[in-house]
Structure formats: structure tokens, C-alpha cells
Amino acid sequence: MIATVVIAFTIVEGLAGLLIGVMLCALGAAVYTLVTNKPGMMNLPSRAWAGAVLAAALALSLPASMLTDPPDQAPAAAPTASPTPAAVDPEPDEAEAPDEREAKPTSTAEPETEDAAPDPEAPSPSVPNDPDGRTALGLLETIPVKGPAAATGYDRVVQFGESWPDTDGNGCDTRNDILVRDLQDVDRDGSCRVISGTLVGPYTGKQIAFQRGQDTSHLVQIDHVVALQNAWITGAQQTTYEVRVAFANDPLNLLAVDGPTNSSKGSSNAASWLPPNKAFRCDYVARQISVKAAYGLWVVPPEKEAMQRVLSACPDQPAYASGYDAAPNVEPRAEPEPPVEEPAPAPAPAPQEEQPPPAPEHVHFENCTAARDAGAAPRASRRSGIRAPSRPRRGRRRLRVELGGSPPRGPRRLAHRRRISNVI
């Protein structure tokens, strides 16, 4: 059988097949002898011989693999985004980063993913530097450190306004403003609506072809660098509605990024999530520090430690200035009207206690006839329900018992009645 296997591999693969056939047969025989301590098909006298044969078989695997021709692999075609007609696949204009949802728990701020080499020519979205020339590390020291507040009452629309309004008054909504700023080779439908472009994702360094459409727009999302829910639990509850709307639409706090990476971030802070692209981490942390300082937010202790750890590799990283003032174009939130308090109904009058009729005055009548004529004496009447007392029948019952109990029935009943009448 061993010879048959070796010949078959030799015919199919040549010299490499010969080596593979010998190796497989030796492996099988050696393992069998090692397990059962029986000679097997190669008549190995002991387990020591089986171990030697196993080592030899493993040694044959290297030359066998070198002689085997690797299979031809067709080069992978680079993915290209096919244009989708906007009339067929309308894009949901309200698509945005999922940072309003609960933060997904992550075990570390260093994601276990391969660091994609960032494009050296990919420009970072331009924002003005701090006018005082402060570094991100220096600005971090001015931010208060507190514990997180409760997330009670958080609602994206109620607390931070509708998604992507035109707060700067340029005629375009915030989403399209950020797409125009961060994408390259932008193609628009009119003066505002971006329908295609190329994004070099700052979080991964990878190039993404953006195409507006129902099934493609979510591949590029607008991320809040400081998530809205994170802002809510670090001081935004104490600000006004207008300030929160400005925060949610501040270009310093917004980045066009790839959708899957943004979904993994959720509403995490720097202590639990950092961009996989390490070359962008200094810029990312500097933006978070600048945004929190501009809007009076605080950082939690683990968050500050993570920021300091990142900036230790780039101590000269400059801070950024917001300079965003959209208050004139923010529609004030309609406050609910206070409920009108209806006057309490007047209490019902207390029930009047019925007064007992006055006691009749004592009237003296000369006799019973006069009392009856005056209507003072009781009269037996069927209508009034008063029944005249009947004559006691005790004597008859006693007599009935003495005469023998109950009266007879039938023909003797009449005679019995006569006898009783005579006795009475």
C-alpha cells in the first residue's frame, strides 16, 4: 500500500510528489506506532524507531515544499466605486456619525489593527491655530478634571438640535460644508450638494471613493471629534441650547471619516479609543483638547492621562482655535408653555343632618272614643300594615296534645273537630 501511495504522488507531482508520498506514509506509520506501540505497516520495532521516522518525515517537508510550484494568483483588482445615479439612489441627508448612541466598551485605547501607512500628501483638515500660540499640552493643563456627570436627559435632537442645519448662513448645511472641506476632487450638484469625491480617511490613512447614494453615503460619515454624549456628561448640561447647537456644528469638532471606524468609536473618549492611524493621534487629541477648552467642558482623570501619553510623543503639537459663532443663525428652541392650572372645584356643602320631628305634645282625651275620633288611637287597617292581635291559641294546642296529637285525616276529621268543640 505504501508503494501505491508513493507511485501515485510521483506520477502526479514528479519528484515533489515522491517526497510528499514518502513523507505522508512515514508520518502515518510513525504516529501509529507511537500511539499503539505496534510495528504497523512499516514494521517499526519500537517507539524510539517511530520517533526517528517521524523526525525524518518532518525533515522531508521542507524540500518537498520548495519543489512544489506555488499556484498562480491573479492580481487583485483595485476596487473602484461605480457612479450611481442620484435619481435612483437618493442619499439620506440626515446620515451622521453614530456618536449619539451608547459608547461601545473597548478594552484598550490601542486598537489591535494593522497601522495603515498614511498618505504623506494627504492634508489634514485645516483649522486655525490657537492665537496665543499655546500647545495642546499647555492648554490641557487649563481644563478642569472631574468625574463624569449622569447621562440622564440626553437626547440628540432635544439637547443639540436637528442634524446638520445651516448655522453659518452660507446656504449649505453643515454636512456638505465638511465634505467640501475634507474631500478631494469634489463634484457637486449645484452650489452645495456634494455627489462624489475622494477622502483620505484621517483615522485610517486609507483612500475612500465617496459616491452619494442610499447604499454608499454611509461609507463616509461626519464624526464629532468630541462626541455629543461625551460632551453632555462633561459639562454641556450646564450650557445653553444655542451653545450646544454651535458645538454640534463647529468645524473644529467635525471630521469626514470612514463609517466602520467611526462606528467603532461611538461616544468614547481618548482613554478608551484612539485612531488606528498613529500618525494622526496627536492632531486628534489636540482637537479634543481645543474643543473642550473652547466650550467649557472638563476631562475625566483617565482621559487626561491618555491625552498626556499621546502628546508626550509630540510636545510641540499646537492647540487650535474655534472662532465659531453661529448664534445669529441658531433658531431658539421653543420652550413648552407652562400648563394652565385650573381652579380647584368648590367643595361640596356638608350634608345637613335631618332633625328629628318634635315630640308631640301630650293631649288628654276623655275616653277612647274621643281619641279614635281625633285620630290619636291606632286602628287596625290592611292599608296601613297594622294587624290586630289575634287571640292566643295556647289552650287549643295544649288540648290537642292531650287528646292525642295532631287531628286525624279523612272521615274521622269532622268527628274530631266536634269533640274538641264540646270540650272547649
Q: Distance between CA 13 and CA 334 in Å, rounded? A: 81
Phi then psi for 142, rounded to 5 degrees?
A: -90, -5
pTM, to two decimals: 0.53
Instruction: For residue 319, give the nearest of 124, 139, 143, 125 by alpha carbon.
Output: 139
Q: What is the pLDDT of residue 91?
A: 42
Under 8 Å CB-to-CB from 138, ≥6 apart: which residues?
319
Under 8 Å CB-to-CB from 417, ≥6 apart: which residues?
407
Give the model confidence (pLDDT) of 320-362 as tens digits.
998 776 444 555 555 556 666 777 777 777 777 776 666 566 6
Give the domain ranges of the chain.
2-67, 136-329
Residue given cell 501607512 in the structure block: 117
Q: Which residues of the chain have a pLDDT value below 50?
A: 69-95, 97-123, 326-328, 399, 401
Q: What is the pLDDT of residue 40?
A: 74
Give the model confidence (pLDDT) of 132-176 as tens digits.
789 999 999 999 999 999 999 999 999 999 999 998 889 999 999
Q: Which cell numbers hold the place of 347?
A: 367643595
Q: Which cell numbers hold the place of 388?
A: 290586630
Q: 283 and 322 in contact (C-beta within 8 Å)?
A: no
Phi then psi for 70, rounded to 5 degrees?
A: -70, 145
DSSP letters spanning 356-417: PPPPPPP---SSHHHHHHTT-S---BTTTTB-PPPPP-HHHHHHHHHTTSSPP-TTHHHHHH
DSSP letters spanning 152-195: TT--HHHHH-SSS--TTSSSS-HHHHHHHHH-EEEEEETTTEEE
Q: What is the pLDDT of residue 373?
A: 77
